[in-house]
């Protein structure tokens, strides 16, 4: 389960990084074409960098929280679904044996 969460969050970070790179290219292109000034391009670039860092930090915080929560669950006495199903089957089998013994 932890691997799936990591994959999703890393995908999110990758998507943000890809978007950041593309946005930087667009800003550079706008500066080259004279649509915005060099100072405006620098300002936009800094804003993109700041936003990227914030989003990356948010993703890391979410991942750390998820790690902590999963660690807490694993350390507790919860039963996994397969364990539950196995125990349920054993109880069913034992009940049948007990019922047979009572019939005798």
Give the CA distances from residue 65 to residues 9, 51, 71, 103, in Å, rounded to whole numbers and listed in that order. 12, 21, 10, 55
Task: Return the domain boundaries, the chain.
Answer: 2-78
Token pair belonging to 56: 């990356």
- DSSP states of 37-68 as a string? -HHHHHHHHHHHHHHHHHHHHHHHHHHHHHHH
Q: Does the pLDDT at position 2 exceed 60?
A: no
Identify the band that residue 88 occupies on the pLDDT scale cut at 50, 70 and 90: very high
Report the SS3 class of residue 76.
Answer: coil
Q: With 90 as the cut, is the pLDDT of residue 11 above it?
A: no
The pLDDT, as a whole number, for residue 1 is 52
Distances from the Cα of 10 to the Cα of 17, 20, 76, 90, 97, angstroms:
10, 15, 27, 41, 51
pLDDT score, position 55: 79
- By the 8 A CB rule, do 8 and 63 touch? no
33-69 residue pLDDT tens: 888 888 888 888 888 888 888 877 887 788 778 777 7
Residues 4-8, mean pLDDT to the nearest whole number = 66
Q: Does residue 90 register a pLDDT over 90? A: yes
């Amino acid at each position: 389960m932890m691997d799936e969460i990591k994959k999703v969050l890393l995908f999110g970070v990758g998507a943000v990084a890809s978007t950041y790179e593309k946005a930087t290219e667009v800003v550079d292109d706008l500066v080259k074409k004279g649509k915005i000034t060099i100072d405006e391009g620098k300002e936009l670039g800094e804003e993109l960098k700041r936003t990227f860092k914030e989003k990356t930090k948010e993703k890391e915080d979410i991942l750390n929280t998820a790690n902590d929560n999963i660690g807490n669950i694993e350390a507790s006495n919860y039963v996994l679904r397969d364990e539950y199903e196995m125990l349920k089957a054993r109880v069913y089998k034992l009940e049948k044996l007990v019922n047979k013994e009572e019939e005798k």
